[in-house]
Structure 1
Amino acid sequence: MRLVSHPVLCNYYLTYRCNATCGFCDIWERPSPYVTLDNFRQNVRDLKALGVKVIDFTGGEPLLHRQLDELLREAKKQGMITTVTTNGLLYPKYAERLHGLVDMLHFSLDSPIREEHDQSRGVKCFDKVMESIGVARRLGERPDILFTVFEENIHQIRRLWEDICIPNDLVLILNPVFEYNDVGGRLSPAALEELTRWGKQKNVYLNDGFVQLRLDGGNHVADPVCKAASTTLVISPENKLVLPCYHLGLKEFPIEGNLKALYQSEEVQKLVALEGRLPACEGCAINCYMQPSFAVEMNKYWWKALPSTLKYNRIKGTWKQMLRF
């Protein structure tokens, strides 16, 4: 049963540029401009009119955008919940400007060991993450640690949780690796079982729907769970609407100042109707599209995701914002 019929999330790619070269991501390899403030102002009004409640300011590295604070402020004016995930390299420099504008601030950290994390990111950024945690806490922010889980680093969860998250009262978000465009990877059933156990620990968030989906072999085109195009609007740095999702990127539509009319157009809605049903959608388990997909349709994944979603919102206090919607 479909609970919400309108899009709820926007993945807004501020730039594809990045100051890291992670081996499990290929976004940083793409040439890219930066989002303009004028285009964003036009689009955020249409996002609100379409029913979007959350904007994920993403990339690339979103803090490379020198007007990020102004973009966030525009989103907050429209009553949006804002999220930013960063590798931490630039956060200490811009933290004061971003203060109070980010509802969910995530610092990426893939190992509690400096050398391992820096190797996975292709740049020395472990120390900057540690510095960023201190700066954010001094400002009264409540950042999370986003841990991308692979077979080779799953054994580091305990140390990261005990040495970094618990002492700093941070939520540890377990982000199971996914596969796309010949990058990323998969997790074994044993690793998924271990993740499930960790998801029950204090200050640990794991969407159990992610685990169930992987056990089920991912999305199946014959009976798709993915609602990427109807729940999530993807906007590129070139100010284009990307469908059905960023990772598949089948078609891009220039927005030209009227995002709402474009999204509701017959051509776009025909593509929306193909969400989860295209050949490339078979086996897909991409977290950033499955999270909103689980939230809008009552099925077994909705029930699997519900306890962890309630847990995170209780810890972070974001349930108060959700009630407004």
Structure 2
Amino acid sequence: MRIIRKPVLCNYYVTYRCNASCYFCDIWEKPSPYVTVDEVKSNLLALKKLGVRVIDFTGGEPLLHQDIHLFLKLAKELGFITTLTTNALLYPKKAESLKGLIDMLHFSLDAYDKEKHDKARGVACYDFVMESIRVAKHLGEKPDILFTAMNDNMNELEPVYQNICLVNNLVLIINPIFDYNQVETGGGLTPENLQIISEMGKRKNVYLNEAFVQLRRDGGNKISSPVCKAASASLVISPHNELVLPCYHLGKKSFPIKNNLEKLYQSDEVRELIALEGRMPECEGCAINCYMQPSFAVEINKYFWKALPSTIKYNRIKGTWRNL
């Protein structure tokens, strides 16, 4: 049963450019412009009218954009919940300008072992994560550690939790790896590793959306009865100022926004593509977290109930429930 029929989240790609080259990502390989302040202002106003509550300013590396603080300020002034994930290379330099503007700030860290983390990210960013934690805490910010769980780094999960998250009173977000396009991620997590992260998710200061685990155990999205609501529960805006449908990773079609996002989203051509969400051949078996998370929130089914306890837990820790 569908309970929310408006989009709740916007994945706003401010640039595809990145100062890292993670082996499990291909976004950094794409040429990309930067979005403009005028585009963002116009689109945020339209997103507000469409009912969106959360803006995820993403990339690439979003802190590469020199105006990212202005985008966040605009979003906060309009009452959006803001979220941003960074590899932390630029955070110490930009932290002062970002203070108080990000409700959910995530620092990516995939290993307690410095060499292992830097190798996976293709750049020496481990020390910047450690410095960013120090700087953020000094400014009164409450960052999270976003750990991308892969079969080859599961032994790093406990040390990151014990030695970085608990000692700094940070939330550990477990982000299960997912396959997409032609990116070699090493495959999905084994049943044994799914069980490990499931148990880990029950611990203090750990957030794991248990519905992610259940979806993987079920073999991902089924086009015959799709759980994916990527196109109706969320919107994707590209650095080219285009609306991308049904999601970034599939990207079947891009529509130039031209200062008219609200009308575009409600157009017949866009609505026809939205109606195909989760039903295209490429959607079979999909388990991409950033689109499943909002999908679980808008329709009551077994994944809704699996996601609910961890969602409540995280929002209680972060205090974001007050804005919902």
Question: 1:255 corresponds to which residue?
Answer: 257
Cα distance, 1:321 vs structure 2: 1.3
How far apart, in 2, do the equivalents of 1:202 and 1:76 lie?
A: 29
How far apart, in 1, do the equivalents of 2:52 and 2:92 lie?
A: 30
Question: 1:32 corresponds to which residue?
Answer: 32
Q: Secondary structure at the match of 1:197?
A: helix
Question: 2:229 corresponds to which residue?
Answer: 227
Question: 2:274 corresponds to which residue?
Answer: 272
Show the 5 A alignment for 1:76-95: 76-95=76-95
The amino acid of 1:196's aligned partner reads: S
- Write out per-residue CA displacement over residues 228-264 of structure 1, whole angstroms, 9 at most, x where no aligned residue: 0001100000000000000000000000011000000
Question: 2:69 corresponds to which residue?
Answer: 69
Question: 1:313 corresponds to which residue?
Answer: 315
The amino acid of 2:173's aligned partner reads: I
Q: Does 1:48 align with 2:48?
A: yes
Question: 1:191 corresponds to which residue?
Answer: 193
Question: 1:148 corresponds to which residue?
Answer: 148
Show the 5 A alignment for 1:115-134: 115-134=115-134
How far apart, in 2, do the equivalents of 1:308 and 1:71 lie?
A: 29
Q: Secondary structure at the match of 2:137?
A: helix
How far apart, in 2, do the equivalents of 1:277 and 1:28 lie?
A: 28
Show the 5 A alignment for 1:173-184: 173-183=173-183, 184=185
Q: Work out which of the residue numbers 210, 213, 216 in structure 2 matches 1:211.
A: 213
TM-score by length of 2: 0.99
Q: Write out the 4+ residue segments of structure 1 that deviate beyond 2 Å after TM superposition.
A: none
How far apart, in 1, do the equivalents of 2:168 and 2:2 lie?
A: 39
Aligned length: 322
Cα distance, 1:124 vs structure 2: 0.1
Aligned-pair identity in percent equals 66
How far apart, in 2, do the equivalents of 1:261 and 1:279 lie?
A: 28
TM-score by length of 1: 0.99
The amino acid of 1:128's aligned partner reads: F
Cα distance, 1:155 vs structure 2: 1.4
How far apart, in 2, do the equivalents of 1:65 and 1:162 lie?
A: 33
How far apart, in 2, do the equivalents of 1:238 and 1:318 lie?
A: 30
Q: Secondary structure at the match of 1:179?
A: coil
Q: Work out which of the residue numbers 284, 287, 301 in structure 1 matches 2:286.
A: 284
How far apart, in 1, do the equivalents of 2:129 and 2:3 lie?
A: 38
How far apart, in 2, do the equivalents of 1:250 and 1:90 lie?
A: 33
Name stretches of at least 5 consecutive residues in structure 2 with no aligned partner: none
Q: Secondary structure at the match of 2:172?
A: strand
Please identify, of 312-321 and 43-52, the stretch whose mean Cα deviation from structure 2 is larger.
Answer: 312-321
How far apart, in 1, do the equivalents of 2:230 and 2:201 lie?
A: 25
Cα distance, 1:225 vs structure 2: 0.1
The amino acid of 1:199's aligned partner reads: G
Question: 2:102 corresponds to which residue?
Answer: 102
Question: 1:114 corresponds to which residue?
Answer: 114
Name stretches of at least 5 consecutive residues in structure 1 with no aligned partner: none
Cα distance, 1:182 vs structure 2: 2.1
The amino acid of 1:245's aligned partner reads: C
How far apart, in 2, do the equivalents of 1:26 and 1:186 lie?
A: 17
The amino acid of 2:311's aligned partner reads: T
- Write out per-residue CA displacement over residues 119-166 of structure 1, whole angstroms, 9 at most, x where no aligned residue: 000000000000000000000000000000000111111111000000
Q: Secondary structure at the match of 2:305?
A: helix
